[in-house]
Structures are given as C-alpha cells and as structure tokens.
Amino acid sequence: MNAFIKIYRYFQQHRLLLWSGLGILSVILVLLSVSLEYDENIFDFIPEDKEYEESVKIFSALSESQRIVMIFEGTHPDSIIAAIDEAGAYLPDAITELDMDAFLDRLQFVYEHMPYFLSDSDYVELQDKLNANQMQQLLVSDKQILTTPGTSFLVSSIANDPLQLIPVSDIASGQYAVAQSSFAAYNGYMMTSDLKYGFAFYDSPYGSMESARNELLADTLEDVCAKVNANHTAVSVRLLGAPVIAVANAKCIKHDSLMAVVVSLLLILALLFYAFPKKRDILLILLSVAFGWLGGMAALAIVFDKVSVIVLGIGAVLIGISVNYPLHLLVHQRYTASVQQTLQEVILPLTIGNITTIAAFMTLIPLKSSALCQLGVFAAADLASTILFCILFLPHFMRQYHAKTREIHLPWGQKWKKYISFRVASIAIALTLIVTALVVTMHPYELFDADISHINYMTEQQKSDLAFFEKFNAASRQTAYTVEEAREELHHRVNVWNDFWRRQNVDAISENLTLQAEATGIKPDLLQPFINRISTEYQPSDLNSSDTLAALWPGRFNTTAMNTRIVDLLSGNFDYVTMLCSIIVFVFLCLSFRSVLIGMIAFLPMALSWILIVAFMQLFGIQFNIVNIILATFIFGQGDDYTIFVVEGILYEKRNGRPMLNQYKQSIILSAVIMLVAIGVLVFAKHPAMNSLGSVVLIGMSAVVLMAYLIPPVLFSVSEKIPFVNRQLQKYYSRTK
C-alpha cells in the first residue's frame, strides 16, 4: 500500500504528467465505448450447451418461431376476408389463403412416414379395420369421397391410406402455426369454426432472435394493420408470433434499462446533495463513477463484437457499487488531517474490498453464457477503473475541510448508533436465525424458475391472443416428448409397425382389399401404394437429424424438457459461482488480514446473509431465474466491502485506541442507502427479468447490510470472552499495530 502513497507524492510534484495522462486515457476510453454494438436477445443469458441448442433448433422448427400471425376479428366472414385480401395486397409475401401445394406436400410426407404417426392404441383400431365388413364400409366411404365434386386432391389420400388410419384433418394441422382441428376453411381462407376470426401469416426472414431487424418488420406490419383497420371498421387486425413478442421484449428492455440508469442517477444525486454540504464532492463522485463506466464499456468493446442491452441495464446496480469507493474516501477525509492520511487509513479496506468484488464478478467469465461473460468483463473492468481513478487521480482533486464542515448531513445515520448495542445486536441475530430456520424448514420451495415465459414481456393483448390459440390448439393437448424421448418413441413406433404386419397374413389382406375395391367400384391399382407399404418392412429414417425430427412431429415437442435442461445448467452455474466466490473471498480475506481467525470473522456475515436471503425469497415467493442468478456475484462482492470496512474499523480501534468504526459505519449507511435507491428503481420495471433483478437485490442487499452491521462487533465481543481466542486476538493487535 506504500506504493500508492509514493505514486500520490510523485504526481503531486508532476501535475502536468498527471492531467495529460488522465486526459489521454479518458479520450481512449470514450472512443472505444462509442464503437460498441448492442444485442437485445434475452436468450444470451442461457448457457451454451449442445443438447440445449439442439432442443432450441427443433423447438424453433416445430413451433414455426419465425411466423407472424395476423389475426382478423369481425362479426361477418365476408368482411374478414375482404380485410385479409387488402392486407395481402400490401404484403405480397404473406400467406392469406390456404396453400394447397403445401398441404399436398405434407400429405405425401406423412404417408411416406406413416409408421411414425401411429401410436400403440391405433393398432387396436387397425386390427378391427382389417375385418372384411369394416374394410368394405371404409372403401364405400372412400368411393363417396372420390365421386364428390372438389375432392380430386384426395386421390393420393385414398391410394396411400384407404383404411383411413390418419385423418386428413390431422395432417392439415401440421402446415400452419395453429392446429386446425378447431378451425375451418371458408372459401379458401383459414378461419375459426365460428367464423369470427380469420388468419394470415407472414414469415420473418430474421427468425425470432433478430429483434432489431424484426422491429422494423413489425413496424411495417403494424402500419398495414392500421390501414386495414381504417378501411374496414367492422374488423380488428392485430399481430402475434415469436418475432413480435421478441420486439415487445426488446422495446421494454431498452425502456426499463434507460429508466433504471436515469432515475437511479437522479435519486443518487438527490441523496448526495442532501448528505454533502460541499457540492464539489458530488462532482468528484460522478467523475469517479463515469470513469469506471467508460472503463467497463471500453473493455466490452475490446473483447466482444456485440453486448447485451440487459448487461448495460444492470449498470444501475454497478453504479451503486462503484459509488462506494469515492464515497468512502470523501467521507473519511472529513476526519483526517490530510489527504495523505486519508489514503493511508482507507486504502487497505478499499482495495481489499475492490479486489474481492472484482474476483467475484470474474467468476462469471468462464461460464458458457455470452451475457454472463459480458457482465463479468464489464463489472470487473468498471470496478477496476473506478478504484484506479480513486487511488491515482481523485486524491489530487480532494480538498481538506475545516472542522466545522467535516460532518456530512446524515442525521438518521447518527441515530442508528444509539440503538445498536451488543445486547440488541445479539437478540436481533438470534431472532433472524430462528425465523430463517423456520421459514427454510417449513416452507417448501423451488429455488430456480427455468420457465423462460415468466421473464418474457408480453402486452395484455398478446397474452390474451396467446391464450386463445393455446385453447384451440389440439396439438398442444397431445402427449409431448423431450428430444431423447421423441427419438425413443419414434424408434418404438417403427418396431411396432413392422411387428404388426409380420404377424398378419399380408397376402390375404391385400387380396381381400383388392376384391373389396373392385366390388365398390374402385380400381385395385389405385390402392397399390398402400399394399406395397404393408408388404415391405419399413426402414427407419435418420432420427439423429434435427430437421427430420422436427418434420415428423410438429406440435409435439415438450418445452418442459428444455426448461429442465436450463435448470440443470443454471444450478451447476449457480453452485459454481457461489462456491468459487466463497473460496476466493475467504482466502483473500485471510491473506489480506494475515489471520484465519479474522478472515473467518469477516466471512461469516456473508455466509449468514445468504441463508437469510434464501429465507426471505422463500417467504415472498421470489425465485432465481436465468437473469437474476448473476446477482449471486453482486451480493458477494458488495457484502464483503461492507464487512471489510466494519472489521477494519474495529481492528483500527483495537490497535490504535482512536475511534474509527463510526466513521466507517457512516459511510456504509450512506453507501447502502444509495445502493438500495439505485437498485430499487428496477422493482418498478415492466419487464419481468428487470423487475426480478430489483426484487432479488433489494432482499439481498438488505440482508448483507444487516449482517455486516450487526455480526462483526458481536463476534469480536464474544471472541474476547474466550481466553484462548482472546490471546490470539491480542497477539494479532500487537503484531499489526
């Protein structure tokens, strides 16, 4: 630490070098920061994983995630069709009428892969259909279909499936974004069976993830909807689909991120103006925070091509951390005779806290998640830049205060000291632990919420429309499978098909089918495709292909399996982060204080705060998710700062006999209030992911401050009453004096 004092003295004598160096460095950081490009995809927080990526790929194919649905609501089908036609005129690439070519292609695909589309229960019905009487009735029905005007397109259906194993309506449901069992074709247009809703479809060329490009597309489609609404007052037109929801998410994230940063800065400024009599101090705090922010942005520009907007939205949280460093210096300066003395007394806890906080955030960098890695780099560079500014440059801006201006205006901070005695603190700790134990043991709780829909923002209209489609989507009510379950089930179905026909007298069935066809007036040659299919053992497709798996079972993929995989990945990441943070912080505390005993005293409040955090999250029904899990590092990082200052204040008083703890506690209280104000803004965010950040941090920081403020003084008092431990403490006080 003496090296920093020497640097301070050197720059005191070489002011030109100091200011020119600061100016050049600031210009470089600004240029790097403005070169950043941004990404708005919330899925950046999901850890990269081959199994999960495959699931996402298949899910995207099954759910047609690039498809935008235009919903036309009206009271008369003809007016709805007129509106659909006008929208089609504005959008030549839109699908406004039923695509017969696509339907016939799908029809042929299903028949060529028929074994995959039959379940075990279908074979019970099939066995009955092989009865001569049943077969005759089915072929009579086929003949009626063939002789009905407008049904010539069903010739292929009769040829491939004369026993009607797979209803044509079920095949048709596979080509659209919704299952058609509850929908009807009206004059070639797709509508609900009550003819009150009509649909057109538009496929985004950007998929569902390119929210920036989809935003322009959505604006174009919204303009079309507005024109159609204006020209057809009896019809209401609106949009739904993954790309549209992604755009709504991106807009909400940008709005909430900007709101969080701006409002938190304004509230912090208001608090600082109230607390500090000298407004120059406020400017110095802002300069320190701004320099740190530029350092973080510059690091992102160097390491990444694009960064997540959500990562920068969390900047409101980092502002609350980085403001601590200039705050501690400026508050402590009021109680010392010189700036150099301030550095000598504060630099040790300041740098220890900063290094442990940076180390905590750096545990995010190795994680296989682009957004978490970005946050780790940004936070580490931000806090490193802030502390370097505070140590190297800020002291040269600071001025010494006269005795009458030394106290900061924080009366409520002064009053707290009167009420936190050893006895009160002990009772508070005991009650906290008892309540925590009761909550944890009596209230069952799932720590992680892996359902991505819970952190997706949707408007009320989008929620209503999505519920409408899910209500009528028959495919969504079928049995759903995971990727591996799907492969196993499909292999099973091929085996069942082959086994079934091996047990049958296929020659007799074929002969009977031919005779019955002749009797009903159907040419026997027409049924040859079906006869060939049951006479030959079916060879399974390549089910390792994601495209094949997606094509075979639209609407049958189980997203719960994806969520389960996310839980496993996040649980592993969470365990890794908390364990590594704990080890790093504990080891560094022991090394910094040069005592395992003092390291344990400093570390215990953080360990207990985590128990308290989990208890309160259980009590209020708040869960970790793919976004707010990052706050594990934040809470560790900020918690050790507060604990280190309290422990260092106690040690200073023990070694030197001069009051110090109350000065440290005063800056901790101010810092904690600023932190809670900065982060509390996120509680009012509309986006669920941003809102969850605010909720978890409010609980986490409240627990951390409470434990840091109460526990160390109690631990020191208890330790000094134990003879063996007291002797170790006295030796430590003498050795480090």
Please, are residues 179 and 476 in contact by the beta-carbon 8 Å criterion? yes
DSSP string, 83-125: HHHHHHHH-TTSB-S--HHHHHHHHHHHHHTGGGG--HHHHHH
Question: CB count, 10 Å around CB of 153?
Answer: 12
In a domain, 25, yes or no: yes
Q: Which two tokens stand for residue 504?
A: 């049958």
Query: Residue 304's closest CA among 545, 53, 37, 558?
Result: 37
Please, are residues 652 and 660 in contact by the beta-carbon 8 Å criterion? yes
In a domain, 321, yes or no: yes
Q: Which two tokens stand for residue 79?
A: 């007016």
Query: Residue 689's closest CA among 299, 310, 217?
Result: 310
pLDDT tens figures, 375-432? 889 989 999 999 999 988 998 888 765 444 444 545 444 444 444 555 666 666 677 7
| Rounded distance between C-alpha atoms, residue 390 and residue 347, angstroms | 10
Please, are residues 161 and 114 in contact by the beta-carbon 8 Å criterion? yes
Please, are residues 392 and 339 in contact by the beta-carbon 8 Å criterion? no
Between CA 38 and CA 677, with CA 361 as vertex, the angle to 5 degrees is: 80
In a domain, 59, yes or no: no
| Rounded distance between C-alpha atoms, residue 228 and residue 82, angstroms | 9
Please, are residues 254 and 40 in contact by the beta-carbon 8 Å criterion? yes
Q: Which two tokens stand for residue 560?
A: 């719960």
Please, are residues 41 and 150 in contact by the beta-carbon 8 Å criterion? no
CA–CA distances in Å: residue 358 to residues 22, 313, 489, 637, 638: 23, 19, 49, 7, 10
Query: Residue 320's closest CA among 277, 261, 365?
Result: 261
Which residues of the chain are modeled with pLDDT < 50? 62-63, 169, 172-182, 402-407, 409, 411-419, 474-477, 555
Name the burial class of residue 467, with classes exposed (0-12), middle (13-18) and buried (19+) by CB atoms within 10 angstroms of its CB. Answer: exposed
| Rounded distance between C-alpha atoms, residue 45 and residue 47, angstroms | 6
| Rounded distance between C-alpha atoms, residue 473 and residue 179, angstroms | 5
Please, are residues 462 and 252 in contact by the beta-carbon 8 Å criterion? no
Question: CB count, 10 Å around CB of 166?
Answer: 18
pLDDT tens figures, 55-81? 555 555 544 567 788 999 998 989 999
Contacts for 353 with CB less than 8 Å, ≥ 6 apart: 324, 640, 641, 644, 645
Contacts for 291 with CB less than 8 Å, ≥ 6 apart: 26, 29, 385, 386, 389, 393
Please, are residues 252 and 457 in contact by the beta-carbon 8 Å criterion? yes
Q: Which two tokens stand for residue 616?
A: 């309160």
Question: CB count, 10 Å around CB of 421?
Answer: 11
In a domain, 511, yes or no: no
| Side chain identity, residue 100 | M
Query: Residue 332's closest CA among 378, 380, 398?
Result: 398
In a domain, 344, yes or no: yes
| Rounded distance between C-alpha atoms, residue 469 and residue 467, angstroms | 5
In a domain, 616, yes or no: yes
H-run or E-run covering 9: helix 2-13
Pairing of strands 235-240, 67-74: antiparallel
Q: Which two tokens stand for residue 514?
A: 């031919």
> Torsions phi, psi of 239, nearest 5?
-115, 150
| Rounded distance between C-alpha atoms, residue 255 and residue 246, angstroms | 14
E strands, 127-206, where?
Answer: 183-186, 189-192, 197-203
**3-class DSSP state for residue 70?**
strand
Query: Residue 311's closest CA among 565, 705, 634, 570?
Result: 634
Tokens 């009366």 correspond to 411
Pairing of strands 183-186, 189-192: antiparallel
| Rounded distance between C-alpha atoms, residue 361 and residue 202, angstroms | 43
List the end-to-end C-alpha distance of the chain, in Å, as a whole number. Answer: 15
> Torsions phi, psi of 184, nearest 5?
-135, 155
What is the reported pLDDT for 84?
92
Question: How many distinct structural domains can be found in the chain?
Answer: 1
Name the burial class of residue 216, with classes exposed (0-12), middle (13-18) and buried (19+) by CB atoms within 10 angstroms of its CB. Answer: exposed
Domain CATH number, residue 7:
1.20.1640.10
Range of the domain at 313: 2-43+276-454+560-735
In a domain, 233, yes or no: no
CA–CA distances in Å: residue 91 to residues 52, 100, 241, 247: 35, 20, 17, 20
| Rounded distance between C-alpha atoms, residue 106 and residue 5, angstroms | 77
| Side chain identity, residue 296 | G
> Torsions phi, psi of 354, nearest 5?
-65, -45
Please, are residues 59 and 579 in contact by the beta-carbon 8 Å criterion? no
| Rounded distance between C-alpha atoms, residue 52 and residue 402, angstroms | 63
Query: Residue 638's closest CA among 270, 167, 327, 317?
Result: 317
Q: How many helices (H) and strands (E) does the chain have?
A: 30, 7
- Please count the CA atoms within 13 angstroms of the CA of 405 that sit on its side-chain side: 12
- Residue 523 Ramachandran class (φ > 0 left, ψ -120 to 50 alpha, else beta): beta
| Rounded distance between C-alpha atoms, residue 50 and residue 188, angstroms | 42
> Torsions phi, psi of 447, nearest 5?
-70, -35
Please, are residues 200 and 84 in contact by the beta-carbon 8 Å criterion? yes
E strands, 212-284, where?
Answer: 235-240
Please, are residues 184 and 192 in contact by the beta-carbon 8 Å criterion? yes
- Residue 694 Ramachandran class (φ > 0 left, ψ -120 to 50 alpha, else beta): alpha
| Rounded distance between C-alpha atoms, residue 629 and residue 380, angstroms | 17
